[in-house]
Amino acid sequence: MNTRGRSLELFFIDGRPDGMLTAEVFNWTGHVLRAPRTQLKEALERREARYTGAYLLLGEEDGRARVYIGEAEDMRERLRNHAINKDWWDSAVLITSVADSLNKAHVKYLESRLVEIARDVGAAELENGNTPTRSSLNPAATEAMESFIETLMMVLPAIRIDAFQDKRRPEPHPDPIAMTCPEPVFEFRVPSHNIVAKAVWRNKQLVVLAGSQARAEWSAAKRDKTTYYGLYEELFSSGYIRRIGNEAAFVKDCVFTSPSPAAAVIAARSSNNARRSWVHVSTGQTYAEWEAARIEKDTE
C-alpha cells in the first residue's frame, strides 16, 4: 500500500457540507460525486452522470447501514430507475474518471471488487445478492484498476462513507528490527478493583497484552458514557476481552493508538491522566515521563 501523503480536493457544489460534493486526488484519474437523494435531479444533470462508472446507493434500514453497488455505461437511467424502485436509500455516489476513460470492463471489475470489499468488511448490509463476476482484464489493466481502488478507499471515508472501511482491530505484528531491543513494558492498575494490566510499546503503538485484566462492566451511568464506551463494547463483541463471571480479561494482544483509550477500556471509565497512570515496570517512569525522555533523546 502507498504510504506517501496525498492531497484530496473536496468541492462543495452548493456550499453546504450535507449537499452535493465532488472529490478528486492530485495525480489520480478518478472522480467521485456524492449527492443526497433530494438533489438527485441536479446530480443527474451533471456531465459525469453520463459517464461509464460504478455507483453506490447508501441508506439505513432497521438501524443498520445499507449499501447497493452497481455499474453502468450511462448512470442516469440506472439511477432514475433505482429512484422509482428502491425506497431505502438516501444518498448516491457516482465513481467515474475525470476524462470518462473507464470502459465497461473496467467498471464491471470495479463493481465486483467493491462488492468483495464491502462483504469482507461487513460494515454495512449489502443489498447486492451475489458478488458479480470480475471482467477479464489484462495484467496491466488489472494493476491499474487495483491502484484506482486503493486511492478510492482513501477517498470514500474522507467523504463519510464507511461501508468499505475495515474497523476490525489489527493484530500486532512484531517488527523484527524492533524486537532485537527489549520492548518497554508498562503497567496500569485499578487498585479499587484489584485490576492489573500490562502493555508493551511496539511499532509505535501501545499493545495491551493478553492476560491483562479489565473491569467487566462500564462504570459510568448511560448519560455519562464517552466515546470510549463504544470502543469498550466493541472489544467485548469482537472477542478481544472476555467476561468470566464478575471479572474480565484480554484473551489476545490488543493494539491501541495511545494510553488514554487503553486505560479507559481497562478501567471502564474515562481517565484524564492516563499518560501518568501507565508506569514503566523497569524504570518506574510514568508513560508521560518515558515519552518526554524518548523525544528529548531523539531530538538531540
pLDDT in tens, 140-163: 999 999 999 999 999 999 998 988
What is the chain's mean pLDDT, rounded? 87
Annotated domain spans of the chain: 8-158, 178-298
Strands of the sheet containing 205-208, edge to edge, are 254-256, 205-208, 195-202, 185-190, 279-280
pLDDT-derived band at 36 (thresholds 50, 70, 90) equals very high
pLDDT-derived band at 120 (thresholds 50, 70, 90) equals confident
249 burial level (CB within 10 Å; 0-12, 13-18, 19+): middle
Q: Which of 48-52, 201-205, 269-273 has the lowest mean pLDDT?
A: 269-273
Q: What is the predicted pLDDT for the residue at 146? A: 95
The rounded distance, in Å, linking the Cα atoms of 141 and 108 is: 13
pLDDT-derived band at 62 (thresholds 50, 70, 90) equals confident
Convert the pLDDT of each residue in 184-208 to its tens digit. Answer: 999 999 998 999 999 998 888 899 9
Q: Which of 78-82, 86-90, 170-174, 267-271 has the lowest mean pLDDT?
A: 170-174
Q: What is the predicted pLDDT for the residue at 105? A: 96
Q: What is the predicted pLDDT for the residue at 220? A: 63
Q: What is the predicted pLDDT for the residue at 176? A: 46
Q: Residue 245 region, left (φ>0) first, then alpha (ψ -120 to 50), else beta?
A: left
